[in-house]
Structure 1
Amino acid sequence: MTTLGPRALNRALLERQLLLHRHQLTAAEAITRLVGMQAQAPAPPYVGLWTRLTGFRHEELAGLLTGREAVRVALLRATVHLVTAEDCLDLRPLVQPVLDRQVRGVARFAKAIAGLAPDELAAAGREALGGEPLTTKELGAALAARWPERDPDGLANAARGQLPLVQVPPRGIWGVGGLTRYATAESWLGRPLGTGATVDDLVLRYLRGYGPASVKDVQMWSGLTRLREVVDRLRPGLRVLRGEDGRELFDLPDAPLPDPDCEAPVRFLPEFDNILLAHDDRSRMLDERRRSAIFTRNGIIRATFLVDGFVAGTWRVDGKRDTATLVLEPFGRLSRASRKALEQEGAGLLEFMTPEASDRTVRVEPLGS
């Protein structure tokens, strides 16, 4: 078997994640190719698309959300993802076991629905959401009116796991606040959930967007378990490679494997970017010693920047009135060329994120600060 080191895997991932160069794609095309974008907060998908696409504008993604061509829905790993309407309908049924496991894993949610049939809870949730979209609190109150002895918040969160609920606008619109309100995917999109997509299809799409990868990598990305038999079923049509540690890596026969020494431009990744969450072995992107600086105890995955294709530090934007500062915290010493490239790319990021600011600055923090 061909053995691939971290640089080869890095360049393959960057190419498939639209990060070796910016692409002339629509936002919908990019979201489809990425098999969705993790989206707990509204801003990260906008930054993730800006860093991947030529000429991306906030209005393009906002239009997809208000036009019901894209939605925010609990999906992979039971986390909120931005996906196209088609992928919401097709993929959401495939990851239902992941949502079920999440509900069972939270004692308060599991206690709230103990003894309730899943179909009964789902039917009650659909009835409650039959009018206008509801907040979690409102959904809980509606369900508690039927089961007053049960915890309303636990009922609502269990229903969110049982039903395909999308977060409706203005949630997810750049610069617009407001409470998170939910509607069923079927009512919001005007179509039923799909029945044609399979887990095999999901694995193949993952490999096209994130491969080459191991079975554990696919499971980490999706949240699904016991995928060995799926990959074994697909094996005759896959390219089989090997990592330097001896792990089997699977890939599509026609998927690109760029030269490991090809140039990779500096890039800014938003919080929660899937490129850092899609593999069990993250060595193709990240020095494991830096993990604690990015993955915080409260579940936040910090925004990062790439130098030579690998995570080289974190970033944030500090602002006050009409000023904005992009603060870079590198993990190690930056070369003069890398620093200049980060400052130039960072200036574009600041302009995108803070168009109202009249005074923008990029600041690189000294090591150890």
Structure 2
Amino acid sequence: MLSLRDLNRATLARQHLLHRHKGDPADVVGRLAGLQAQEPRPPYLGVWARLEGFSRDDLHAALHARTMVRATLYRGTLHMVTAADFAAFRPLMQPMLAAAARRFDELDFEAVVAAADRLLAEGPHTFNELRPRLQREFPDAYDRALGYAVRMLTPLVMVPTEDRWSFPRDSAFALPGLDLDPRPSLEGLVERYLAAFGPATAADVQAWSGLSGLKPVLDGMRDRLEIVADEAGRELFDLPDAPRPGGDEPAPVRFLPDFDTLVLGHADRRRILADEHRGAVVTKNLRVRATYLVDGFVAGTWQIKRTAKKATLLLTPFTPVALDELEEEGMALLAFAEPDAPARTLEVVGP
């Protein structure tokens, strides 16, 4: 039987949040099967939290070399993944993404996708450029519906620039220029999930991926998975050789960015985020605030306030906290996120 702390430590070990990984950004992004990337900066901060000696330039170079891509994937949201994982997993997402697009059932999806492919073959386009060109071909369609359908139905990658976090606010999209796996494996996706988030239930895998009906897939893998139980007696699936260091393993303070994959990786998030704090982290408009971990669990949220004179890390704790516990890691975060700030400081703005 695994306690809540056992599950916490097992997941943190796999997320490289007990000990930072020694390697390159592709190691971390690949081991996690991707990082959510709704905005340009968060995946950089997510890698920084997990990788020893991380240099922004290394991830920037990988994005420009297309060994790493930012694209629509799990749950129909933007993720940063290795190019190999995009090729392997994007086909598995197609039914879920197509179902999302079908809410605009008045569209001729085949014709819209063909038109988008033709326009994108000319070169990268932002959606602000693409939508009006599509609407000239489909004048009766809602322009936002056209853009959404293309985003869901056409495999696309965002085009990196020389911006600090590699992408401007209005990024251009392009055809991926790589072959998608013709025989994608749901079992392979499940194994990669368990390696990064396990032990877990089928509901957890579904919450992370956006796919449904995965219980039969996991049941069919019982002969090569290990079955364990949590305190409530629920059946959890795991890889036999995956780390489970135990609930008494020390866990350092870690700062996680907005939309971090760890906070979104399970249907039951209590191994990381207590139910009573969930509403303070996941807002009604589905924004996921940046958080910090104390003893392995989300203990508050944070944001950076930047002026010409200084960068301030504003901390909103869920329970009273000693600032010196957070200072070393918090100042390191500020140095990475705001390297050109003349001064940096921490400030508690909550209880």
Match of 2:265 among 253, 274, 278: 278
Q: Is the 8 A contact 2:160 2:166 kept in 1?
A: no
- Between 232-241 and 141-150, report the one with greater CA deviation: 141-150
CA displacement at 1:112 relative to structure 2: 4.7
Q: Check if 1:293 corresponds to 2:280.
A: yes
Q: Which amino acid aligns with 1:49?
A: V
Q: Which amino acid aligns with 1:332?
A: T
Q: Hey, which bits of structure 1, 4+ residues long, moved more than 3 A?
A: 175-178
Q: Deviations over 1:278-300 (max 9, x none)?
A: 10101101110111101011221
Identity %: 44
Q: Which amino acid aligns with 1:87?
A: D
Q: For residue 88 of structure 1, what is the aligned residue in structure 2?
A: 86
Distance 1:248 1:267 in 2: 29
Distance 2:258 2:130 in 1: 29
Distance 1:172 1:221 in 2: 29
Q: For residue 65 of structure 1, what is the aligned residue in structure 2?
A: 63
Q: Which amino acid aligns with 2:3?
A: G
Q: Check if 1:332 corresponds to 2:319.
A: yes
SS of 1:4's equivalent in the other structure is coil
Match of 1:202 among 189, 210, 215: 189
Q: For residue 174 of structure 2, what is the aligned residue in structure 1?
A: 183
Q: Which amino acid aligns with 1:125?
A: A
Structure 2 length-normalised TM: 0.96
Q: Is the 8 A contact 1:171 1:179 kept in 2?
A: no
Match of 2:156 among 148, 158, 165: 165
Matches within 5 A, 1:122-141: 122-141=113-132
CA displacement at 1:87 relative to structure 2: 1.0
SS of 1:11's equivalent in the other structure is helix
Distance 1:56 1:121 in 2: 42
Matches within 5 A, 1:209-288: 209-288=196-275
Match of 1:28 among 26, 29, 43: 26
Q: Is the 8 A contact 1:318 1:327 kept in 2?
A: yes
Q: For residue 339 of structure 2, what is the aligned residue in structure 1?
A: 355
Q: Is the 8 A contact 1:136 1:153 kept in 2?
A: no
SS of 1:257's equivalent in the other structure is coil
Distance 1:225 1:139, change over 3 A: same
Distance 1:49 1:175, change over 3 A: same
Distance 1:224 1:28, change over 3 A: same
Q: Check if 1:145 corresponds to 2:121.
A: no
Distance 2:259 2:32 in 1: 14
Q: Deviations over 1:61-85 (max 9, x none)?
A: 1111111111111100110000111
Structure 1 length-normalised TM: 0.92
Q: Structure 2: where are the runs of 5+ without partners?
A: none
Q: Which amino acid aligns with 2:161?
A: P
Q: Deviations over 1:29-80 (max 9, x none)?
A: 1100000000000000111111111110111111111111111111001100
SS of 1:236's equivalent in the other structure is coil
Q: Is the 8 A contact 1:171 1:178 kept in 2?
A: no
